[in-house]
Amino acid sequence: MWEIRFNSRVHGPIHDGRMARWVKEYEHDVASALADSAKDTWVNNLKTSIRHPTPYYWTRIDKREIDSNRYEVHDHGIVYGAWLETGQYTPRRRFEGYHAELRAKEEARAKRGNIARRILRRYRSEGKLR
């Protein structure tokens, strides 16, 4: 039988908690930037799709922080938001809907890696998260 012993000293950002703080800040910044991008895309989709635009609806689209690294992009529950998104069929007319929110979600998924990398580059240039 034999025993192995290892002793070490920890210095720097891991030991004093800076690394954990930087990771939390990074997650928060990425989530916030993703929410901003999704919100802007949703609004731009509406602006280019609506035939007779009035800005009330898209000025109500906003982001809300749920947790430190979670955001919700929403329209404040405006009743006709679902109709604008999905449309409806009536005997006289068929409105397909704009699908602006759905397109924004898809675009946000496609952009998320680039946004996260851009923010990570900024953190690295500041000497964080090497």
Q: What is the pLDDT of residue 104?
A: 93
Q: To the nearest whole number, what is the mean pLDDT of the chain?
A: 85
User: In the chain, where are the structural domains located?
Assistant: 18-125
- Identify whether the C-beta of residue 60 lies closer than 8 Å to the C-beta of residue 76: yes
What token pair was written down for 38? 């999704």
Using a cut of 0.85, tell me whether the model's pTM lies above it: no
Q: What angle do CA 21, 25, 28 make, to 5 degrees?
A: 140
- Confidence tier at 96 by pLDDT (50, 70, 90): confident
What pLDDT digit, counting tens, does each position of 7-22 carry? 545 556 766 788 888 8
